[in-house]
């Protein structure tokens, strides 16, 4: 038996997405940049996918640039944003961003750009007062994630964008965990740049997109060709792009329905865990969160021990970001919320998807509480 509840790490590709991709992995293998019809005719499918992605986030197709995924999109947005105006070299982001943002921001700081890190409240939500204090006339870019990958806490992106724009700065959001799970509207929320990745909402790995608001001139991050209007060189991953487009189309059609279903299952999971496991509490419980994400802390029980035993029972979860797997350090997201390092090391992240069933949750609630209580009895920290 396999119960997969680690969907913030990656999702199962939807069968409909695979079906859409297959022709471009077999007979239609031409290069869309070629002169001949066998290749060039495939550009039509790329443009259809561009429209599908644009529709999902309320953008124009001309504002979508295809990339290899969220990390490339984040890097491109940050390097572009701090270079767009030489008179505004500062970068401001939050302490709970994904490593794709924080590590890039650290590199940018080393090249001489001022860096400000916004604090978060105990709920895990960005502290807008802290943001206002850090943003100044020298700030060129503000980057605040749409939703946190560990806690699922949804950030006040619209308000953050207003603060950035008031100071004359551009605003970027890493929406990798949000797109396809909750509505995202780049126009209504005042977003200038947005990152997304297909494999987080049932598309293929290795493909994503960067939204660049109309009127912004992007300096190429990758050189060597004319693709994407010269802004992102490289042979088109047409199968991946088509898969991204199909996943976006499905997300756009079913997002409200699936969010309600997933939220109901998540509530059932959380209620069962809190009832069945003494000392358990949920990070960011009082904040608005993604309908699929819950990080539960089991006080006195190390997460590594829980992960080992539930993995043996066929349940796939994580202790936080997949990009931090193997680290012995407590989650910086949780400690930034004021949670002690000891308690942070007891955290387990559950992340559901459209394929999660009632039976999956029932099995977890049958298996997990006895494991936690068994470990609590032998734990020196209990």
Which residues is 142 bridged to in the sheet? 92, 171
Whose tokens are 């309320």? That residue is: 58
- Quick one: the chain helix, strand, coil %, rounded to 5? 40, 15, 40
Residue 147: C-alpha distances to residues 96, 175, 177, 225 (Å) = 10, 7, 6, 34
Top-level CATH class of 15-251?
Answer: alpha beta
- Determine whether 323 is an active site residue: yes
- Copy the structure tokens of residue 254: 């079913």
Q: Do β-strands 193-197 and 3-4 pair in parallel, antiparallel, or remain unpaired?
A: unpaired
Say how many residues make up the chain: 382
Q: How is the chain split into domains, by residue range? A: 3-9+255-378, 15-251
pLDDT at site 321: 53
Give the bridge partners for 154, in sequence order.
147
Q: What is the pLDDT of residues 260-287, one digit of tens each?
A: 999 999 999 999 999 999 999 999 999 9
Whole-model pTM: value is 0.95
CA-nearest of 56, 152, 161 to 96 is 152
Q: What is the pLDDT of residues 305-351, one digit of tens each?
A: 999 999 999 999 998 655 544 556 899 999 999 999 999 999 999 99
What is the chain's mean pLDDT, rounded? 94
Q: Please answer whether residues 132 and 163 qualify as being in contact, where contact means their C-beta atoms are separated by less than 8 angstroms.
A: yes
The CATH number of the structural domain formed by 3-9+255-378 is 3.90.1150.10
Out of 253, 277, 316, 323, which one is annotated catalytic?
Answer: 323
What is the phi-psi region of residue 217: left when phi exceeds 0, alpha when psi lies from -120 to 50, beta otherwise?
beta
């Amino acid at each position: 038996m396999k119960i997969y509840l680690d969907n913030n790490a990656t999702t199962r590709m939807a069968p409909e997405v695979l079906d859409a991709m297959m022709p471009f992995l077999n007979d239609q293998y031409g290069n869309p940049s070629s002169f001949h019809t066998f290749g060039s005719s495939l550009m039509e499918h790329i443009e259809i996918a561009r429209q599908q992605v644009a529709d999902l986030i309320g953008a124009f197709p001309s504002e979508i640039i295809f990339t290899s995924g969220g990390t490339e999109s984040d890097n491109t947005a940050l390097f572009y944003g701090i270079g767009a105006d030489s008179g505004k070299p500062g970068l401001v982001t939050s302490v709970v961003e994904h490593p794709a943002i924080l590590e890039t921001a650290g590199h940018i700081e080393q090249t001489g750009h001022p860096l400000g890190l916004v604090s978060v409240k105990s709920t895990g939500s960005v502290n807008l007062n802290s943001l206002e204090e850090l943003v100044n006339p020298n700030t060129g870019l503000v980057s605040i994630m749409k939703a946190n990958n560990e806690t699922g806490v949804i950030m006040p992106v619209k308000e953050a964008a207003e603060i950035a724009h008031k100071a004359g700065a551009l605003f970027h959001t890493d929406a990798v965990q949000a797109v396809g799970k909750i509505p995202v509207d780049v126009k209504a929320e005042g977003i200038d740049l947005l990152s997304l990745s297909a494999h987080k909402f049932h598309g293929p790995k290795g493909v994503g997109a960067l939204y660049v608001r109309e009127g912004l001139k992007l300096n190429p991050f990758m050189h060597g060709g004319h693709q994407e209007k010269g802004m992102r060189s490289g042979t088109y991953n047409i199968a991946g792009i088509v898969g991204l487009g199909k996943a976006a189309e499905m997300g756009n059609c079913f997002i409200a329905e699936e969010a309600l279903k997933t939220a109901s299952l998540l509530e059932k999971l959380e209620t069962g865990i809190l009832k069945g496991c003494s000392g358990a509490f949920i990070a960011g419980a009082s904040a608005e969160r993604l309908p699929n994400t819950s990080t539960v802390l089991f006080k006195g029980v190390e997460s590594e021990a829980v992960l080992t035993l539930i993995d043996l029972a066929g349940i796939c979860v994580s202790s936080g970001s997949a990009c931090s797997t193997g680290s012995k350090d407590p989650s910086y997201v949780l400690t930034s919320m004021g949670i002690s390092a000891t308690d942070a090391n007891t955290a387990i992240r559950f992340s559901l998807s459209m394929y999660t069933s009632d039976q999956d949750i029932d099995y977890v609630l049958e298996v997990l509480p006895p494991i936690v209580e068994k470990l609590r009895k032998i734990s020196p920290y209990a």
